[in-house]
């Protein structure tokens, strides 16, 4: 992946709706996915859809991840391993 493609993906990933700022504990998994190559297979045009679907998945099925980030304010090795697993599994099943 080129640096330009990565920057386009991260730009899309970090766009926020006006007057609806995203919580830091939800931004962390998104940034983690972007900088660790989990979105390499997702076209830039589908990043916002991936983001919305992934956040919905986190809130519904993995609320403990969001709560842990909120509580600890950091990503431990254990949380990193869980994030990698959850993001990888979700991204493989993403239909966009």
Are 53 and 94 in contact by the 8 Å Cβ rule? The answer is: yes
Query: How far, in Å, CA of 14 to CA of 11, rounded?
Result: 5
Give the model's pLDDT for residue 19: 64
CA distances from 88 to 4, 21, 93 (A): 23, 26, 9
Q: Output the pTM of the full model.
A: 0.84
pLDDT by 10-residue block (mean), the chain, 96 residues: 66 69 89 93 92 96 96 94 98 89
Give the model's pLDDT for residue 22: 79
Give the model's pLDDT for residue 38: 95
Which residue's structure tokens are 């992946």?
Answer: 1
Give the model's pLDDT for residue 32: 95
**What is the CA angle 56-17-69, rounded to 5?**
50
Which DSSP state fits 74?
Answer: S
Give the model's pLDDT for residue 4: 64
β partners of residue 20: 17
Give the model's pLDDT for residue 11: 74
Give the model's pLDDT for residue 67: 96
Closest-CA residue to 39 (of 53, 56, 59):
53
């Amino acid at each position: 992946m080129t640096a330009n493609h990565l920057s386009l993906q991260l730009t899309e990933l970090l766009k926020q709706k006006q007057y609806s700022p995203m919580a830091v504990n939800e931004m962390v998994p998104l940034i983690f996915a972007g900088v660790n190559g989990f979105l390499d297979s997702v076209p830039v045009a589908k990043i916002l859809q991936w983001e919305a679907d992934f956040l919905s998945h986190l809130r519904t099925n993995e609320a403990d991840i969001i709560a842990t980030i909120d509580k600890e304010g950091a990503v431990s090795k254990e949380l990193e391993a869980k994030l990698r697993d959850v993001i990888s599994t979700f991204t493989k099943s993403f239909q966009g």
